[in-house]
Amino acid sequence: MKKRIIVASENPVKINATKQGFQRLYPEYELEVQGVSVPSDVSAQPMTDGETLHGAVNRACNAEREMPDADYWVGIEGGIHHTMEGYIAFAWVVIQTKAGDGKARTGTFLLPPKVTQLIDKGVELGHANDQVFAEHNSKQAGGAVGSLTGGVLGRTEYYEQAVVLALVPLFNSEMYKLKM
């Protein structure tokens, strides 16, 4: 069975995470996964959990408007949130279909002080990470999670699990009363 999936980004990390997540739950599908550049309609660096989720929802909706003939539309938005411990980083994944949607958030991790100092000056996490770790365009590679784990966990794998979890209601459509 062929399924067309539109990822609301041209970032290869988000496209690959989506493809791998779908392949894990739906190995029988022939997947056509395509990225499309659409706005999140939130800040370039979402600074709260709510803003980050809103960005992922907006991306999925904007992808559907841009390419309405797909089976799934996927919005992935990375964000940070200030806590008593400092800034934590995470991402929201939203997967939409005509029958319903699924949402999941990645795990969180604490950002180091050197990175948070740059964020406080208005620098986006990806650029702050590049400066602190002397990397280039890390958000299209391992990201901050990759830099901080010495490459043990890259951004693709980090997002892939959340893609699988966002698919839970769709994979279990009868339990969630969705007509897939």
What pLDDT band is residue 137 in, cutting at 50, 70 and 90? confident
What pLDDT band is residue 141 in, cutting at 50, 70 and 90? confident
Q: What domains lie within the chain, and their CATH numbers? A: 2-110+153-171 (3.90.950.10)
Query: What's this model's pTM, rounded to 2 decimal places?
Result: 0.95
* pLDDT tens digits, 148-158: 999 999 999 99
Looking at the predicted structure, is the pLDDT value of residue 40 above 90? yes
Residues annotated within a binding site: 69-70
User: So what's the pLDDT on residue 86?
Assistant: 95
Residues annotated within a binding site for substrate: 69-70
Check if the beta carbon of residue 69 is closer than 8 Å to that of residue 59. no
